[in-house]
A = this chain, B = another copy of it.
Amino acid sequence: MAGVNDSATNPLTLKLGSFTDLSATDRTHLDHLARSPTRMRAGEDLIREGDRPERVFLLLSGWAYRYKVLADGKRQIVAYLLPGDLCDAHIFILGKMDHSIGLLSNATVATVSRETMIDVTERSPAIARALWWSTLVDEAVLRHWLINVGQRDAYHRIAHLFCELWERASQVGLVSGGAFDLPLTQEQLGDTLGMTSVHTNRVLQRMRGEGMITFESKRLIIRDMQGIRRAADFNPNYLHLTRRKH
């Protein structure tokens, strides 16, 4: 589950570097954030609704997810976190978490104190700016998930999500040979897209039957990228992966 990024490449550097040029000093700062990570197991929670956030989490390998459980037991997953993702760089401003964050797979997680976050962003305007960019992208992703669930049917929802995840996994070097690890059960996929696991299952089978995808052993292969993008009406602009001339 550790994936391609261990100590050799800091996935946070990889991610922020796709937005802006980072100096050697910046890279050192980012490596500093990734020091002394902990290994954690799938299913553990990093933080729960109602907790007071004390530290920021930096995911170095593995996948995590933000979710909320309603009074009637229904669950909605509202975001996925990939290696290189920092959970809420400025979360300290808020008093309590309004949702939980759990692990979808075994993962390597570093933890950063409030003071360190402040220190790093004060020393490096480039990093501060890149973190802002990251926050704006997170928000754009969230908007597109809402659009997805609000307007598309089951087939097109899955197609859109898979396109997005393919792009995001690519960004941090997780895609190799047209495939990547996607540690999701059909139930989790359903909870992400606002549908039941039963229906998720049927739609996935249809997509397999059409030769659109292969998804087994938690590994996704998109076999017809043109087709799935067309079906999903997918336009990667919202991920803002190309740099703006400053």
- Kindly provide the distance from the CB of A168 to the nearest chain B CB, expressed in whole angstroms: 15
Q: A66: which of B132, B143, B191, B244 is its contact (CB, 8 Å)?
A: B143
B146-A78 in contact (CB<8A): yes
A147-B68, A150-B76 known; A94 vs B139 contact (CB < 8 Å): no
A226 within 8 A of B: no
A151-B194 in contact (CB<8A): yes
A166 within 8 A of B: no
A136-B244 in contact (CB<8A): no
A155 within 8 A of B: no
For A140, the chain B residues whose CB sits under 8 A away are 98
Listed stretches A173-181, A208-216, A234-242; interface member:
A234-242
A68-B143, A146-B145 known; A136 vs B91 contact (CB < 8 Å): yes
- The copy count of this chain in the complex is 2
Chain A 117-153 interface mask (CB, 8 Å, partner B; 1/0): 0000000000001001101101110111111011110
B133-A135 in contact (CB<8A): no
B129-A93 in contact (CB<8A): yes
* Interface residue ranges of A51-72 to B (CB < 8 Å): 66, 68, 70-72
Chain A 80-95 interface mask (CB, 8 Å, partner B; 1/0): 0000000010110111
A143-B143 in contact (CB<8A): no
- Kindly provide the distance from the CB of A132 to the nearest chain B CB, expressed in whole angstroms: 5
Separation of A133 and B146 alpha carbons in the complex (Å) = 22
A48 within 8 A of B: no
For A29, the chain B residues whose CB sits under 8 A away are none
A93-B142 in contact (CB<8A): no
B136-A146 in contact (CB<8A): no
B150-A194 in contact (CB<8A): yes
Between A and B, 13 residue pairs with Cβ closer than 8 Å are A66-B143, A70-B233, A71-B233, A79-B143, A88-B136, A93-B133, A93-B244, A94-B133, A98-B237, A139-B142, A142-B142, A142-B143, A150-B193
